[in-house]
């Protein structure tokens, strides 16, 4: 890739972040752009909110690659790693890229795509914005849940006040 193509890729990926405050929606859009622009076969944003528990936040590409990604998932989820895998006589590379409490996993055809270091460098240049986008989505969800809880409490208090008022009347 030329430096102009790399700059364009970084711009498009960065622009795909922040369009939504829904984590799955934002993640799917980012994965769509990143996969398309880097010719990945599969990509997934994996979260690990609890120790030892990993969940898929969003994915794009052939679902059959999920087993490959999960079978070779690195033990240290904060570690950048490239793993070569053979499946059905084809060679693949899985690129694991760490985020705060999340990991991006990408699958590439090893025979047609060899510039994994460049892809990793692009990712690491985007990592701060990705982390900010994820945290913004999580905070938005927390505030929505808090607002719903407060509305329930408000309704409960209003009902209690009406009952007491009825007793006093």
User: Cβ atoms within 10 A of the Cβ of 32, count?
Assistant: 15
pLDDT digits (tens, 9 = 90+) for 136-168: 999 999 999 999 999 999 999 999 999 988 888
Q: How far apart are CA 16 and CA 131, in angstroms?
A: 13
Which three-class secondary structure state does DSSP give residue 6? helix
Q: How far apart are CA 166 and CA 156, in angstroms?
A: 15
User: Would you say residue 66 has pLDDT above 80?
Assistant: yes
**Entry pTM:** 0.83
Check residue 142 and give its pLDDT.
95
List the domain boundaries for the chain.
3-168
pLDDT digits (tens, 9 = 90+) for 26-37: 999 999 999 998
CATH architecture of 3-168: 2-Layer Sandwich (3.30)
Q: Which segments within the chain are labelled E, that is strand?
A: 42-50, 53-61, 81-87, 90-99, 102-109
Check residue 29 and give its pLDDT.
95
Q: How far apart are CA 102 and CA 157, in angstroms?
A: 39
Confidence of residue 117 (pLDDT cuts 50, 70, 90): confident
User: Would you say residue 51 has pLDDT above 90?
Assistant: no
User: Would you say residue 75 has pLDDT above 70?
Assistant: no
User: Would you say residue 110 has pLDDT above 80?
Assistant: yes
Check residue 83 and give its pLDDT.
87
- Provide the terminal-to-terminal Cα distance of the chain, rounded to the nearest Å: 79
pLDDT, mean over the chain: 88
Which three-class secondary structure state does DSSP give residue 64? coil
């Amino acid at each position: 890739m030329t430096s102009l193509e790399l700059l364009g890729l970084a711009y498009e990926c960065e622009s795909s972040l922040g369009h939504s405050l829904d984590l799955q929606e934002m993640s799917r859009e980012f994965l769509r752009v990143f996969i398309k622009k880097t010719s990945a076969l599969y990509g997934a944003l994996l979260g690990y909110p609890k120790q030892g528990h990993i969940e898929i936040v969003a994915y794009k590409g052939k679902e059959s690659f999920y087993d490959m990604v999960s079978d070779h998932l690195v033990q240290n989820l904060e570690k950048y790693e490239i793993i070569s895998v053979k499946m059905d006589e084809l060679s693949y590379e899985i690129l694991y890229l760490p985020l705060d409490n999340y990991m991006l996993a990408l699958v590439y055809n090893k025979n047609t795509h060899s510039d994994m270091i460049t892809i990793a460098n692009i990712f690491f240049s985007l990592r701060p914005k990705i982390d900010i986008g994820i945290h913004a989505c999580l905070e938005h969800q927390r505030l929505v849940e808090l607002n719903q809880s407060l509305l329930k409490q408000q309704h409960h208090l209003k009902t209690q006040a009406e009952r007491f008022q009825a007793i006093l009347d």
